[in-house]
Structure 1
Amino acid sequence: MKYKKKNILFITTIIVIYLAFLFNWLEIGIFKPKGESISESEMLSKISRKDISESVRYSVYKTMFLKDKPFDIRNVYQIELTTHNNEKFHAEIIKNTKEELSFELLPRNKISYQYEFRPFSWLLSIFSILLNFIHVLSSLVFTIYIFLAIHRESGKLNSKSLITSKQKSLFTFKDVAGNTEEKEEMTELIDFLKQPQKYETIGAAIPRGVLLEGPPGTGKTLLAKALAGEANVPFYAVSGSEFVEMYVGVGASRVRKLFKEAKLNAPCVLFIDEIDVLGGRRGGNSSGGNQEKDQTLNQLLTEMDGFTPSQGIIVIGATNRADMLDAALLRPGRFDRKILVNLPDIKSRAEILKLHAQNKKLSPDINFHQLAQQTPGMSGAQLAAVLNEASILTVRNHKDFITMTELSEALDRVLMGPAKKSIKYDLEERRMVAYHEAGHAVIGIKLKHAQKVQKITIIPRGNAGGYNLMMPEKETFFSSRKRMLAQIQSFLGGRVAEELVFDDISSGAFDDFRQATKIARLMVTKYGMSDLGVSQDSEFSDKKLIDTAIKKIIDTCYQQVQIIIKENKDLLDQIAHLLLEQETITKEEIEKLVVNTKK
């Protein structure tokens, strides 16, 4: 009811303002005489001499009160006349509003007159004054209303507490697969939260903050929840964007309220996701948005370094851009520990897959180690998505158990998107796609340092006409020059195969060239793996020298790929023919082809 009354008041104010503007427009906007301004006597003289045409326009111009007779109102009229030479003049004439308007000279000289707007009576003039007063008053009311509305909304923003984020975590470290080292680092914090007095006795300070850095989907949020669950303490989860508002001071107020509530419920875990939004580097720009951001960050810095160790509040920040954080936030005393959460290795991937498969019906022949081998570089979130997608496909296919068929299809869908079965290649296009993918496979088979083929398909997915699922023989923590050159050669295998078989090339190798050039550029500008030598500033060297070095790497790899493809033309043909028959072939089928070719 209260909001309804406010809306009615707001609408009424708008209508009054509109009517006032409309009235003013009607009063002064209709009649605008044209031509040179002349005196009343000159105008009457022109009329008497019959110098004007047969039409005169006039209207009320303004209203005046006589000093000696305050109740005697006079109207000032504007007269517009046009001469026979088409010259326009206008003048002002004072007439009594109580008299009927009759310019005696006009009828006498057979001149018609047109009244553009009805003359205003003294009542209408009073109404005009009253309406102008209402106009001013309503504008004042409207301004006050807007000010109060902004103030009220600002108050809501300032009073918006993030306490709704308080929760009791049901997760423990048993629910976190992989991340062995990360869990070990955080296990120590559990004792800090449970028995802070033990550390105070010997003078040890409880870590005030832990920064989790890593790619998206690696389990940073899950680790924070598991820490709170293991320690059985309240868990606060907020996002850095929740502190960012257009009103200056709102973010800082929210930080104060959040930490105030956390102190009342200590010991607890306070998790700030995407902390780079809140804790980004401060700059010299003094615009309103930066002022608000800087104030919010300053308040966070104060709160993190302000509470005493005995309160047992541990702030956990998560980001994938630690390089964007302000240096003051990263110093000891705020974020005392920095934990890098990497993508899972093959062992961790198998554990993650088993964990997410616990509540799913699986076929007995499911091999998690094999599936983990096929998913290098995938995060825990992606692995969970693979199993969930496999469950959906199982229901869609009316099966009772998830099989490797559904898991393989789910992996393809997560990596490349759903198959576009509606796209139908003609025979020549299918052959070109098959040989293109076979070219990639041959390089993977014959080059020692190249990634090995796990599956090939010519079914279109995403923007690709087909693709090779390839992975390294063993996972490594860094890449060597030989492995990078082999990777470039693998990307070029498809184009070389097209050129050799069809004496033609297609646009399908566009992304292959982009990836190969990207690797070659890194070799030249970052890793010092070219004739330009070792230099961290190579990115800013002579562009022509860089381009020449990149082209040399690509051309050399291309020539080597041509030799390999020509020497293994039989294997290329067999892989392409099998692809044309089956559309998808596996690692085992490829290995059989290799053995038969050697015979």
Structure 2
Amino acid sequence: IARGTPGFTGADLANLVNEAALLAAKLGKKVVTKSDMEEAKDKVMMGTERRSMVLTDEHKKLTAYHEAGHAIVAVKTPGNDPVHKITIIPRGMALGLTMLLPEGDQLGFKKSELIAKMAMAFGGREAERLIFGDDDITTGASADIKMASSIARRMVTEYGMSDEVGAVSLSDGDQNIFLGEQIIQKSTISEKMANLIDTEVRELINKAGKHAAKVLAENMDLLHRTADALLEHETLDGEDFQLLVDGKEIVREEDAPVASVVSRGSVPSSGTSSGTTNELA
């Protein structure tokens, strides 16, 4: 539990147990099991399952390849966090999710780690392109593109990670002039510099997309097996996915109790979320 909840406070963990206790009680259980704890953690970190939402076989297949693409690029690109869970069950506003969780508290990121995160973000879109073709890629990668673009722009304008732009801060976020009810953004960046920033950002994004495509092209068998496993099981945890990466079959173990006392107390509606969530909206 501790390894899967980096950044959680003691109160967050207590709320997580309370959520698991409620789930167990709803199912008429006398003990809290591992599956209850996992479901409670997923509910807090990824949102509530929407099993009432009916997806066509086509949408399920597309979602499975999209999420498989994220996971494979993540595991095959050094600098990414371990894959915690992959699911094609709709949660919140997403049709599917791939969650990565750090193994400990993160105090900062290396340039290589940020590039790896961008590549992982493009894994879903590139998987769609490889399997279904350029004309059938979907809008599902919009959140992924937004995340990668944000990382790239910050690398260039805030983190000094562009050789062409240099180690300067070019963020205008705090330079607003208030005039009545209007807000005018005052830019201190020249047109030439703005064009250079856009060029550098686009280069980083294109590099990430090409890397994702290369990784997936080199692991097509794993892509197909992961998508097939998602279509069969709907949700894979990190151990399930690692078995596929190692060329093995997924074996599901029976649910085992992890606590004999049902916790009491209020049940939270939300908790501290940690990790990377990629949505196919």
Relative to the length of structure 1, the TM-score reads 0.37
Matched, 1:462 2:113: no
The answer to whether the aligner puts 1:485 opposite 2:136 as a matched pair is no
Deviations 1:478-532 (Å, cap 9, x if unpaired)? 1100001001111110010011101121111111111111111110111011131
* Unmatched segments (≥5 aa) in structure 1: 1-370
Task: Tell whether 2:246 aligns with 1:595.
Answer: yes
Where do residues 195-594 of structure 1 align in structure 2 (5 Å cutoff)? 371-503=1-133, 504-530=136-162, 531-537=164-170, 539=172, 540-541=188-189, 542-594=193-245
Change (3 A) 1:593 1:421: same
Corresponding residue for 2:266? Answer: none
Following superposition, the deviation at residue 538 of structure 1 comes to 5.3
Contact 1:382–1:414 (CA<8 Å) still a contact in 2? no
Could you tell me which runs of 5 or more consecutive residues in structure 2 were left unpaired when the two chains were aligned. Answer: 173-187, 249-281
**Secondary structure in structure 2 of the residue aligned to 1:407:** helix
User: Does the 8 A contact of 1:455 with 1:586 survive in 2?
Assistant: yes
Counterpart contact for 2:3–2:103, Cα < 8 Å: no
Deviations 1:157-181 (A, max 9, x none): xxxxxxxxxxxxxxxxxxxxxxxxx
Letter in 2 for 1:479: F
Deviation at residue 537 of structure 1 after TM alignment: 3.3
Q: CA, structure 1 residues 379+515, in 2 after alignment: closer, same or farther (shift >3 Å)?
A: farther
- Return the offset for 1:462: 0.4
2: distance between equivalents of 1:480 and 1:472?
14
Deviation at 1:545, TM superposition (A): 2.2
> Given residue 385 of structure 1, which amino acid in structure 2 is its aligned partner?
N
- What code does the residue aligned with 2:94 have? A
* DSSP 3-state at the match of 1:444: helix
Q: From the CA coordinates, give the structure whose radius of gyration is larger.
A: 1
Residues 153-172 of structure 1 correspond to what in structure 2 (within 5 A)? none
Instruction: Report the alpha carbon displacement of residue 536 of structure 1 after superposing the two structures with TM.
Output: 2.0
RMSD: 1.6
For 1:545, the aligned partner's letter is L
Letter paired with 2:118: I
d(CA) in 1 for partners of 2:102, 2:2: 12
Counterparts of 1:528 and 1:438, CA distance in 2: 33
SS at match of 1:420: coil
Please say if residues 524 and 538 of structure 1, whose CA atoms lie closer than 8 Å, have aligned partners that are also in contact: no
1: CA distance between counterparts of 2:17 and 2:40?
7
Report deviation, 1:474. 4.7
Partner AA of 2:66 in structure 1: H
Cα distance in 2 for partners of 1:545, 1:382 equals 44
Question: What CA distance in whole angstroms lies between the structure 1 residues aligned with 2:10 and 2:63?
Answer: 32
* Per-residue deviation, 1:379: 4.3
Report deviation, 1:376.
2.5
Q: Work out the CA distance in 2 between the residues paired with 1:478 and 1:578.
A: 34
Asked whether the 8 Å contact 2:7–2:105 carries over to 1, the reply is: no
1:510 is matched by which residue type in structure 2?
Answer: S
Q: Which amino acid aligns with 1:472?
A: P
Contact kept? 1:385, 1:414, Cα under 8 Å = no
Query: Structure 2: how far apart are the matches of 1:380 and 1:482?
Result: 32
> Structure 2-normalised TM-score?
0.77
- Tell me the amino acid that sits aligned with residue 492 of structure 1: F
SS state of the match for residue 247, structure 2?
helix
Contact 2:87 2:97 in 1 (8 A): yes
Identity of aligned residues (%): 39
Q: What residue identity is the alignment partner of 1:513? A: I
Q: CA deviation at 1:385?
A: 2.5
Q: Quote how far apart the aligned CAs of 1:380 are.
A: 4.2
1:383 is displaced (CA, Å) by 2.8
Measured in 1, the distance between the counterparts of 2:129 and 2:9 equals: 37
Q: How many residues align?
A: 227
Runs of 4+ displaced beyond 3 Å: 377-382, 473-476, 537-540
Structure possessing the higher relative contact order (Cα contacts under 8 Å, 6 or more residues apart): 2
In 2: Cα distance, 1:379 partner to 1:575 partner: 34
Cα separation, 2, equivalents of 1:553 and 1:393: 44
Change (3 A) 1:484 1:414: same
Q: CA deviation at 1:588?
A: 1.5
Cα separation, 1, equivalents of 2:20 and 2:26: 10
